[in-house]
Structure 1
Amino acid sequence: MTSTGSVYSLAGEQRARAESAAWSRFTAPADGGEFYAAWLSLLAVRVQRARVALLLLAQDEAGSFAVSAAWPDPQRDLKYLGPTAQRALSERRGIVDGVDGDQLVSEAGARIAFPIEMPGTLCGAVVLEVGGGSAADLQTALREVHWAIAWLVDHFRERVQRREQAEAARMALLNGLLAGALQHRRLKPSAVAVANDLATKLRCDRVSIGFESKGQVEPLVISNTAVFDKRSDLVRHLGEAMDEVFDLGVPVGHPATGDQELRALAHAEAARELKVAAMLSVPVVDTGQAIGVITLERADGPPFDADEHRMLRAVGVVLGPAWALQRQNSRSWWQRWSEAFHAARVAMFGPRHPGMKLIGSLALLALLVVTLVHVDHRVAARTSIEGATQIAAAAPFDGFVAAGLVRAGDTVRQGQTLARLDDRDLKLERARWSAEREQLQRRFQVAMAAADRGAMGVFAA
């Protein structure tokens, strides 16, 4: 009797220690995986005669579920619990398998599965296998599972709330940066405002913004720096890091992890030379093409996390069109013409834009045909031919002849008068214009006497 009591006492102590350790991990988890494992351990400890437990959670919006925690051994194969879990997920209700009348099947036990739901969202399912017992024991186990699921639902709601708050903060930051950028009409003051704002809000020691020029990215502004030497080592290292991001077209950070180390060589070199602990560069994008780079540095701060990566990538996408427009407006006409010519040349001879190439080829062919091929141009019209006799009596002088002193065929001397023209029409014309001139002079004098400047201007003209 004493031996049996000591065995039960030892089992109780082990159970208490396991529950205490699970509570410690549950209240202060290091990550989500530890939280789920601690929750499942607490549930299994509270359910009498629990043999194994499995927690399935949704991995994406497509409806795929994966194992997030298993008890007591995470390495144990629990595929035989899959059908019960599948029923709970598909039917969205509690499932109990292995019940025979009022008693559980003593050999195989029973399997309990409950879906984990939020309003309109299926988050996962929990499955337990329990040993034989009465219907009251089964009912108690079901209540324990139902009670424990509320903790997970609350955890999911809190996670959604944190995500929404982070999204709201990210949108507020984006709106603030865009508003600050649009307060300026020129590119450089706009970039200075954004760089200073990013350095303050993201706790960065330095924020640099550069734009592409002749195939390379040149730093244009540096936060909290009015003037800097473009030939300095600082600008050179920043330019090399920006070129790396401009060529790749994706954000690059330091320290890099995994396969990203090979594409962050320039950032690693710049971080070592500039003595900074963390760097992150994101492309500034306009219409799908990178036009510049934003580089952020922290001398001794924490590395940029995934949320900051996403937010800064959105910053580059949001500010890209505004900066592209400001940059375009600040350029001279010959720079715009050069860019337009370069864009047309790339469209015609580059690897893309087949429609533009076809239109250009057809236009060139039409121009060659019009220039080099000569054809008769015929116009159809209704015509008729009628006979007529015309007699012309022409004088050898302009105007009417008053007297003809010689005839055709006569011999004349140099300076001899041949004919006198009738000048009566000319004298009448001169008299008419003289009268018109005198009339206008009188009207001009009347207007001058009346101080009518408008009329004076008309008559003077």
Structure 2
Amino acid sequence: MQLGDSGTQAIAAWQQQVQGVQGWLARHCEQAPRPEGARVTQGVVLWRQSERWQPVALWPGQPDGAALLSLSEEVRDAGRGLVSQLGEDSLGIGYPVRDLTTDEADGALLGAVALRVMLPEALRGRDSAVQTALLPLMQRLEDGVATLERDVLQRSYRSGRQLQDRLSQHLSLLAAVLAEPRFASAAMQLVSRLASHFEAERVSLGWRRGSRTRVEQISHSAQFNRKMNRIRATETAMDEALDQRISAVWPAPAGPGWEHRVVRAQAALGGMTGLTSVISLPLLDGAEPLGAVTLERDMPFDAEEVAALESLLALCARALEEKRRNDRALPLKVAVATSEQLGRLFGPGFLGYKLTGLLLSGGLAFSWVATGVERIAADAILESREQRVMTAPFRGYIDAALVRPGDRVEAGQPLADMETRDLLLERLQWQSELAKFERQEQEMRARGDRAGVNVLAAQRDQAQARLALVDSRLERARLLAPFAGVVVSGDLIQRLGGVVEQGEELFRVSPLDDFRLELEVPERRIDDVRVGQRGELVLAAMTGERLPFVIERLTPQTRSSDGSTRFVVEASLVRDAEGIDGAARRELRPGLQGVARIETGENKLIVIWTRELVDWLRLTLWRWWG
């Protein structure tokens, strides 16, 4: 529709331009001066249309203009005025016509004018006299071409102003329609502004419902009865325009392209309402009909007004459709969207859509039939099954730290030494006390003091006990590893010479060949975990190794992280014969973290993939509906 109208407008503009050029040529030739008897007897204008050049004016209409046409082509190619000998008794003068609306310095070449000048016998053969006679004619031609160029410039300016005014009106109307939040108010804004701008008695907006159009809004009418004959006639006129996918105007404007349009419904509506002009314009979204607008008034519509209406409605059609869709109820939106998708899936076209549907259907069918091993992912921490705490045997000072955390130790290997100088002095003291008590005892026995002997015996036993305590502390002054393992904690390098209290923790030692796993199972999957289930562990430090394990114990202990609760499950690594080689076991360290996957058994793939979604839906439904 729009392409045909644009072509009609271009043809009309070209015809108007040609008529203007023809009139100018006739006036110029008829009013040309006759210096010394020389007169203009023939004229030709060569004009450019798009990329083609063609003669558009010949004066007078009967004579042959081939020679002048050749001269005009030479003027076009040279781009300047020329004088040429056309015969013994005539000369040709030509001048280019430039388009002053372009940005070029001299203007683009728009046409070329060639005139035949008849020379009287008195001037023939006299070059100087001929030049004197041609000078006024060339000046006159130059002035005439300037007038023609001015007319072209004025016509272009008027056309540009009309286009700007039309675009301004279009944007104003479109802004008014877009500013309304709902379809009904936007439609009322459209028909009211159209009625005001085009001086129409009545403007009706109809929207397509299935195979028929229903009137939605009428200008200057808040309510109307749909059963009225005038409303039904208006809907029929709209259907007539929509069926043709082109504007239906009654009576048709003057010009080509209007004689083959069916306007019977428009004429019937005009006869019913008594108005002398009716036009119905379709609202299209691509090739899809959306609705139509009908205008009725007493004055006929011309081609320019029809083109303005078509461009206006082309801008507003999509905006109205979007507002109408947004105003629909949510269930209706869902139903329409579902219908559209089903139409694409089962209707013609949309090959990629259908292939995607087939792939999804095949994947769904496969997941419904096929089974796989269901696994539960859980964060895991590797811990030693046993840890021995090495404490300070007595209150004293650290003399030497022989190991640090991470060092491997063998059974009986020294870990640290305590300061023993005070203990050695104390030992000498108690040894001296024992020697003194022995001498006193011998003296009292010699005197026969049995009571004194008994008292000294008790004091001697006390001294011996204190000496034994000192010897015990000396024996424990060197801390020895209780078994082969690794030092987990206890860095005493920074505490050399520092005091430690009796019982204070100094080291933690763990064995290297006995580990347990602490798995943090999500709360929603703890019910699927059973003792004896197997799984695999991948540690962050050993991503290339999969370590098998077995669930040993479900604990009531919980941990919270990232807003979720997780239950602690204990597991043990499978022995070498079943999966972990010796090299991998030697690389294990307490405190390593990774991700474990617990195998809970076979299940359908669709159940495995949708379990979390189904559980969430069940919990949500229970929360809201019980």
CA deviations on 1:73-110 (whole Å, 9 max, x unpaired) are 1x555344333222322332223222xxxxx8424532
Matched residue, 1:274: 273
AA aligned to 1:40 is L
Question: 1:227-246 to 2 correspondence within 5 Å?
Answer: 227-246=223-242
Count of aligned positions = 346
Aligned counterparts of 1:385 and 1:199: Cα–Cα separation in 2:
83
Partner of 2:161: 165
Greater Cα offset, 318-327 or 374-383: 374-383
Match of 2:328 in 1: 331
Whole-angstrom CA distance in 2 between matches of 1:146 and 1:385:
104
**Residue matched to 1:194:** 190
* Cα distance change of structure 1 residues 329 and 314 upon mapping to structure 2, 3 Å threshold: same
Residues 360/138 of structure 1: CA separation in 2 closer, same or farther (3 Å cut)? farther
Tell me how far 1:72 sits from its aligned partner. Answer: 0.8
Superposed, 1:249-268 pairs within 5 Å as 249-256=245-252, 260-268=259-267
* Counterpart among 6, 27, 31 of residue 42 in structure 1: 27
Q: Closer, same or farther in 2 for the Cα pair 1:347/1:197, shift >3 Å?
A: same
Q: What is the CA-CA distance between 1:331 and the residue it aligns to?
A: 0.6
Give the aligned partner of residue 405 of structure 1: none
Q: Distance in 2 between matches of 1:221 and 1:368?
A: 50
Residue 361 in structure 1 maps to residue 348 in structure 2: no
Partner of 2:446: none
Contact 1:218/1:239 (8 A) holds in 2: yes
Change (3 A) 1:89 1:265: farther
Change in 2 beyond 3 A, CA 1:81/1:351 = farther
Alignment partners' CA distance in 2, 1:352 and 1:96: 66
1:66 paired with 2:51, answer no
Following superposition, the deviation at residue 295 of structure 1 comes to 1.4
For 1:56, the aligned partner's letter is L
Q: Which residue of 2 aligns with 1:126?
A: 113
2:222 is matched with 226
* C-alpha deviation, 1:288, in angstroms: 5.9
Name the CA distance, whole Å, in 1 between partners of 2:343 and 2:113.
Answer: 59
Paired residue secondary structure (1:217): strand
* One-letter amino acid of the counterpart of residue 281, structure 2: V
Q: Residues 99 and 152 of structure 2 are in contact (CA less than 8 Å); yes or no, is this contact kept in structure 1?
A: no
Q: Secondary structure at the residue paired with 1:291?
A: strand
Q: CA deviation at 1:262?
A: 4.0
2:345 corresponds to 1:348: yes
Contact 1:191 1:221 in 2 (8 A): yes
| Alpha-carbon shift at residue 378 of structure 1 (Å) | 10
Check whether the contact 2:249–2:280 (CA below 8 A) recurs between aligned residues: yes
Q: Is the 8 A contact 1:84 1:113 kept in 2?
A: no
Task: State the shift of 1:259 in Å.
Answer: 5.7
TM-score of the superposed pair, with normalisation by structure 2: 0.51
172-181 vs 358-367, greater mean Cα deviation: 358-367
Q: Secondary structure at the match of 1:226?
A: coil
What fraction of aligned residue pairs are identical, expressed as a percent? 24
Other structure's SS at 1:106 match: coil
Q: 2:598 maps to what in 1?
A: none
CA displacement, residues 412-440 of structure 1 (integer Å, 9 cap, x when unaligned): xxxxxxxxxxxxxxxxxxxxxxxxxxxxx
Structure 2 letter corresponding to 1:239 = E
CA distance in 2 between counterparts of 1:273 and 1:123 reads 51
- Residue 114 (1) aligns with residue 99 (2): no
State the SS of the aligned residue for 1:208. Answer: strand
- Other-structure match for 1:295: 294
Change (3 A) 1:167 1:262: closer
Contact 1:53–1:70 (Cα < 8 Å) also in 2: yes
Amino acid at match of 1:219: V
Query: Any conservation in 2 of the 1:88–1:115 contact (CA below 8 Å)?
Result: no
Task: Say whether the 8 Å CA contact 2:241–2:247 is kept in structure 1.
Answer: yes
Determine the structure 2 residue equivalent to 1:148.
144
- Going from structure 1 to structure 2, the CA distance change for 1:195 and 1:86 (only over 3 Å counts) comes to same
The equivalent residue for 2:306 is 309
> Closer, same or farther in 2 for the Cα pair 1:252/1:262, shift >3 Å?
closer
1:208 aligns with 2:196: no
Secondary structure class of the residue paired with 1:146:
helix
Q: Distance in 2 between matches of 1:268 and 1:188?
A: 28
User: SS of the residue aligned with 1:137?
Assistant: helix
- The one-character-per-residue Cα deviations of 1:250-275 (angstroms, maximum 9, x if unpaired) are 32222236564443333233333333
The one of the two structures with greater contact order (alpha-carbon pairs below 8 A, sep at least 6) is 2
Query: Is the partner of 1:148 in helix, strand or coil?
Result: helix
> Measured at CA, do residues 126 and 51 of structure 1 come closer, stay the same or move farther in structure 2, by a change above 3 Å?
same
TM-aligned CA distance change 1:361 to 1:54, over 3 Å: farther
Q: Deviations over 1:117-170 (max 9, x none)?
A: 324243322221222351122222211111111221221121112112211211
Distance of 1:289 and 1:254 partners within structure 2: 24
Q: How far has the Cα of 1:243 moved from its partner?
A: 1.4
Q: Distance in 2 between matches of 1:385 and 1:347?
A: 51
Q: What is the rounded CA distance, in whole Å, between the counterparts of 1:122 and 1:173 in structure 2?
A: 34
Where structure 1 has 5 or more consecutive residues not aligned to the other structure, the ranges are: 1-29, 99-103, 387-461
Q: Is the 8 A contact 2:43 2:115 kept in 1?
A: yes
What runs of 5+ residues in structure 2 fail to find an aligned partner?
A: 1-14, 103-107, 124-129, 376-534, 537-545, 551-626
Distance 2:187 2:372 in 1: 63
Q: Report the CA distance shift for 1:80/1:377 in structure 2 as closer, same or farther (over 3 A).
A: farther
TM-superposed CA distance for 1:230, in Å, is: 0.6
Secondary structure of residue in 2 paired with 1:109: strand
- Kindly indicate which of the two structures has a greater share of residues assigned to strand: 2
Shift of the 310–235 alpha-carbon distance from structure 1 to 2, 3 Å rule, reads same
Matching residue's letter, 1:166: Q
Aligned residue in 1 for 2:543: none
Aligned-partner Cα distance in 2 for 1:337–1:259: 43
CA change 1:122–1:351 in 2 (3 A) is farther
In the alignment, structure 1 residue 54 sits paired with structure 2 residue 44: yes
The residue correspondences of 1:402-421 to structure 2 (distance < 5 A) are: none
